[in-house]
Amino acid sequence: MTGVAATLFAARQSAAKRLAAGLGADATPALDARLLIAAAIGVAPDQLLFLDDRLLSEPEIRAIEQAILRRLAGEPVARIVGEKEFWGLSFRLSEATLVPRPDTETLVEATLAWIDRSGRHDEALRIVDIGTGSGAILIALLSALPNAIGLGIDLSEQAARTARDNAERLGVADRSRFIVGAWSDSCGQFDVIASNPPYIVRDVIRTLDQEVRDHDPMLALDGGMDGLDAYRAILHDLERVMAPKGATFLEIGFDQAAALRAMARSVGLDASVHPDLAGHDRVVELHRID
């Protein structure tokens, strides 16, 4: 096949060159080539360098070519290989789930920091993850909190099934449940409420990068006409569901902090904002006002 050579080394070199020529300036062609080829032939990415002289079979050449063509067409690497690392854990994806992003680790960090400040790390905390998707947030928290239990909720049955499967693979299935439904379907009270809800302004979605616009599920992107619909739904029911000494952590868009502060004050909550590694407002932390 065009551009694919007979050894792993030559295949990596050829794939990286093609990706560099076909993708934008912000691309990472060498990394993409390594991840795509490793997935195509069933080898761990960090093992490829030790197999440079390995000859490729015809089926492997075809699998690599297909992966490279998909990437050149704008499909994200994580979608092609079917998984993405988050919080040091590997999450399998489906069409109904977002690709977990490093920015969302800010939410996990903020949540764990609050738990540590409160001296509650070893408690049997009850956690709910709204719009759980792949289960990345909930499973990351459960992996760090050995006595916690969690509930993941998603409107998509496929997403909830994907999250459940990830929980089983990553060893927290016995401390987690996943259900299909709306936020208001949750029962009882939770010590920690976490969510990366849809928050993109509807008219902005068509301007997003192709990797997001064409490959992430619309249900997980569309935040309504002003991007705040999901936050209104969450805040409306928070008094019932957040435990008296609990806290809520919401991922936000870079320009939504002021709106979330105002919304929080209107329902008697105090809001603080956490920046991501780039310095952008990323997470709003909510508590009851004493």
Q: Does domain 8-81 have CATH number 1.10.8.10?
A: yes
Give the strands of the sheet with 176-180, arranged side by side.
176-180, 149-154, 126-130, 190-195, 242-251, 281-288, 269-275
Length of the chain in terms of residues written: 290
- Within the chain, residue ranges assigned H as helices are 8-22, 29-41, 58-72, 77-81, 105-117, 136-144, 157-169, 210-213, 229-241, 257-266
- How confident is the model at residue 1, as a pLDDT? 44
- Cα–Cα distance between 36 and 271 in angstroms, integer? 42
Q: 163: which residues sit within 8 A by CB, 6+ positions away?
A: 97, 132, 133, 134, 135, 138, 139, 152, 154, 178
- Cα–Cα distance between 223 and 231 in angstroms, integer? 9
Q: Where in the chain is the domain with CATH 1.10.8.10?
A: 8-81
- Cα–Cα distance between 279 and 106 in angstroms, integer? 11
Which CATH number describes the domain made up of 95-288? 3.40.50.150
- How confident is the model at residue 3, as a pLDDT? 46
**Six-digit token pair at 64?**
């690599």
CA separation, residue 272 to residues 112, 142, 247, 258, 278 (Å): 15, 23, 11, 10, 18
Q: Is 189 helix (H, G, I), strand (E, B) or coil?
A: coil
Q: pLDDT tens track of the chain, all 290 residues? A: 444 458 999 999 999 999 999 997 778 999 999 999 999 999 999 898 899 999 999 999 999 999 999 999 999 999 999 999 999 999 999 999 999 999 999 999 999 999 999 999 999 999 999 999 999 999 999 999 999 999 999 999 999 999 999 999 999 999 999 999 988 777 789 999 999 999 999 999 999 998 999 999 999 999 999 999 999 999 999 999 999 999 999 999 999 999 999 999 999 999 999 999 999 999 999 999 87
pTM for the full predicted model: 0.93
Q: Where in the chain is the domain with CATH 3.40.50.150?
A: 95-288
Q: How many CA atoms lie within 13 A of 100 on its CB side?
A: 31
Q: Is 58 helix (H, G, I), strand (E, B) or coil?
A: helix
- How confident is the model at residue 92, as a pLDDT? 98
- Bridge-based pairing state of the strands 176-180 and 149-154: parallel
- How confident is the model at residue 57, as a pLDDT? 93
